[in-house]
Amino acid sequence: MQDTSGQDLAGHLITGTDILALLTGLLAAWCLCSLLVVVGRRHLLDVPVARSAHQQAVPRGGGAAIVTGLALAIAVLLFSGTLTLQYTLVLACALPVAMVGFIDDFKALPVRIRLPLHLISAASALWLLGPVPEPFFSGWLVMPSWLQALILMLALVWLLNLYNFMDGIDTLAAAQCLFVCAAAGLMLWRLDDPLMLVCAALFAATLGFLYWNVPPARLFMGDVGSTFLGFFLGLLGLITHFNGVLSVWVWVLLMATFIADTTLTLLRRLLAGHSITEGHSTHAYQHLSRRWGSHLRVTAAYMVVNVLWSLPLAWLALTRPEYGVLFAISGIVPLMIVAALLGAGNRERQ
């Protein structure tokens, strides 16, 4: 992993084709969302239940617009020569995840069908990337390459699920994606890496969706969006780690609020004897949403933590990659403590 401290870094030059790709992603996502708002009222309504954070039935499946807008933008980047075929194929491994999510939005699929397809998608991406580079764990832990690949495959599947778990109130999942894309994209731009344009494309497509998801939401992203975003961001993190640009621990820290909330919540539910596949509303962000009575305030609070806590640590992990694991632990554990204090994993009050 390269040490960027003290370097005179010039940003990647943005071309007219790059701008076209970003505008394509933004406009395609926005237009498709407007269509889904109408069509979804008949076929994709999310009817609220006891644990829901909304009271009115709202169309879901808006994540399909993010996927479509991003796919079109990446196609432009590929044909312009900005993005390589190998990286495009790796990123395309997220498409089956989106397809499974879209079907799940229509009719709930059992775990025995979803999980194998998610694992196959993760394994395919790792196969396309090739051998896991050393030292993966910042040189602190040495293990066989096959074991590292297995851990990464499971981590990708966990990431898509935790992102799905965090999509329980308006704007939060979309805002988190915008933050991660902006932060990672800026780092990649400073390092003159063209993958910053993929981050920018995802930012643009998600922004096109966010317009429809601001409270009171007219459209939910659904499983097609939340699982896809978690998996796709994980793929971006792996690509930048494998090519020696950004350590995967930078991405872990940028996702720290989501990782801490979901991990602590599920651990406490497991210890209490609850099923981790059973629907619930016991995440820290859900407790805050009920306490504050505002989705936007909760989202704003998470973004403040992202900027003031996660981002500085991620930048340290970038400049001192040999301490990436230490920074990740130091960043996530305090957030888990905060989530515990907020009641994450505890049974919601009646």
Counting every residue written for the chain, the total comes to: 350
Model pLDDT, residue 39: 79
* R_g of the chain computed on alpha carbons: 19
- Global pTM reads 0.91
Domain positions in the chain: 16-246
DSSP bridge pairs for 59? 45
Model pLDDT, residue 302: 97
Model pLDDT, residue 306: 98
Alpha helices in 191-322 (DSSP H): 196-213, 222-242, 248-254, 256-271, 284-292, 295-305, 311-319
Beta strand segments in the chain, E? 45-46, 58-59
Model pLDDT, residue 106: 83
Model pLDDT, residue 20: 93
Model pLDDT, residue 150: 92
DSSP bridge pairs for 45? 59
**Core vs surface per residue 174-189: b (16+ CB within 10 A) or e:** bbbbbbbbbbbbbbbb
Q: What is the pLDDT along the chain (350 residues), one digit of tens a residue?
A: 444 333 333 455 678 888 999 999 999 999 999 998 887 666 665 544 444 454 566 788 899 999 999 999 999 999 998 899 999 999 999 999 999 999 988 888 888 899 999 999 999 999 999 988 766 665 666 777 888 889 999 999 999 999 999 998 999 999 999 999 999 999 999 998 999 999 999 999 999 999 999 988 889 999 999 999 999 999 999 999 999 899 899 999 999 999 999 999 999 888 877 777 676 788 999 999 999 999 999 999 999 999 999 999 999 999 998 888 899 999 999 999 999 999 988 876 53
